[in-house]
Amino acid sequence: MDSSTTSTRAGQAIAEGQPAVASSFRLHRPRGPLCGRGYCHQCDLACQTPAAAQPASPPRDRLRPLGRVAERFPPWFYEHRFLKPRMLHGTALHALRYLSSAPDLPETTSYEGPRSWTEIEVDTVVVGAARGFEDAHRVDLADGRLAIGVYPDRVLGVLDAHGLTAVRFEHLVLATGSYERLPPIVGNDLPGVIGARALETYGEAGDLRAGTRIAVWAPAALQRRTAAYAERHGLEVVWMSERAPDAVLGRGRVTAIRSGRDVACDLFVVGVAQPAIELALQAGATARLTDGELPIVAVTAAPDWLELTGSAAAQGSDVPDVAMDDRAFACLCEDVRVGDVKTCVAQGFAHPELVKRRTGAMTGPCQGKLCSAAVLAALREAGVDASPTRARPLARPATLGELAADA
C-alpha cells in the first residue's frame, strides 16, 4: 500500500478532526497518529490500515479513570502499595505477571514455515534512499526491504518478501533518515501532535481539510517548506517558530498552543528531528547527547567503512533548547514523564540502563526512537550519566515468524 496516495484510518481521523485513534499502555491516555510511517505505534498502526467505509468514532478507553489515578504516581508505585505483606510478594508478582502476559494465540494461527536464506557479496550497500550511489546494492524500506542489523565481518541482514539475505559488503552507506523529536512540554502526547512529514503524507492522501489551523515548530529551513506546503493545501498557519511553545493545550486532542498567549489550532506540527542511528551504533559507531541547543543523540565517530548521509548524519537539532517540564512525557510508549525519570534518579538509579529497566522508558514499541534524547536529557539535567543506551535497529517491528529461515 502506498500511504502517500491512499487514505488510512489515521488520515481519516485527522480529516474528521478527531485524531484520537488509540490509547496509551499504562495511563490509557488518548493517542493519535504521529509519524505516519508505522514506527511510533502511537496510533496502533492506524496509519497503515486502509480507511473504513464509515468513519469510526474516537475510541473510549474504559480504563482511563484508573489511568487518571495512576498519573499521580511514578511507574513503579505498585511495588510499595500492592506488594504487602512481604510474605505475599511471590504471590503478588505471580499475579502481576499473569495479568500482564500476552494472551494465548488462537488455534487457527498458522505458521508458514521457514523462509529462504541466501548470501551475496557486494562492494557497496546503501540503506535508504541516498543519491549518488548508482552502482550500489540498495536496501530501502520503501521497496519492501528491511535492514535488520549489522553483524560481524561486515554483514548486513536484510528481510524482504522472499526471505532473509546476508549481504557481505566492503562499504556501508546509511541514509536511514530521522524521527520526530518531541519538545519536553506539557501536552506533547496529545492527539493532533504530528510530524512535518506525516502532515505531507496525509495531505497527499487528501486527508487535510482546507482551513485546518496548524502551529509549526521547526528549524528555519523547514519552516519555509512547511509554509509552502500549507499554502498549496489551503492550510492556515496560525503560529510558526523555531522556539517551542510553553505548552500544547487540549483535552483528548490539540486545541491550542501556549506561547506567551494561547493560539487556537487543530494540529501541532513537529519539524525537529532525531537522526536514525541505530544501525550505525550496531556497526560500531559511537554517539553522544549534543549540547548548546535542544539535544539530540548524534554519531561522533564511525568505522572507516561506514558512511552516514542525509538527516542520519545530523549533528544538531537546529532549534533552541527547551525547558523540561516534569509533567511532559519523555517516553510516550510507556507513559514515563520527565518527573518520573528524575524521581528514579533520586531513588538511586543513576545510570541510563538502570533508569531504562526501572521505568520501562525506551523499551516500548518504538524502541527509543521517539524518547531516547528526551530521557537522556532529563538524566543530564539531573546530573548523572547520560550516555546513549543500546537500541534495536529495525525501522519497523518484525515478527519471529518473519525472521525464521532455513540455514
Mean pLDDT for the stretch of residues 365-390? 92
Q: What is the pLDDT of residue 3?
A: 41
Q: Per the confidence metrics, is the pTM higher than 0.85?
A: yes
Of all residues in the chain, the percent with pLDDT exceeding 70 is 88
Grid-cell match 496529545, residue found:
190
Closest C-alpha among 128, 244, 119 to residue 175? 128
Supply φ then ψ for residue 306, to 5 degrees: -110, 130
* pLDDT band at residue 305 using 50, 70 and 90 as cut-offs: very high
Is the pLDDT confidence value at 318 over 90? yes
8-18 pLDDT per residue, tens = 999 999 999 99
**C-alpha dihedral, 137 to 201 to 218 to 356, nearest 10°:** -70
Q: What is the pLDDT of residue 80?
A: 59
Assess whether the previous peptide bond of 152 is cis (omega < 30° from 0).
no
Lowest-confidence region among 89-93, 197-201, 210-214, 262-266: 89-93
Cα separation, 201 vs 38, whole angstroms: 12
Cα separation, 203 vs 205, whole angstroms: 5
Contact status, residue 215 vs residue 257, Cβ threshold 8 Å: yes
118-133 pLDDT per residue, tens = 999 999 999 998 888 8
Cα separation, 112 vs 142, whole angstroms: 24
Domain positions in the chain: 180-273, 324-391
92-109 pLDDT per residue, tens = 556 655 554 445 545 544
Q: Which CATH class is domain 180-273?
A: alpha beta
- Fold held by 324-391: Arc Repressor Mutant, subunit A (1.10.10)
- For all residues of the chain together, what is the average pLDDT? 88
Cell triple for residue 134?
Answer: 548508482
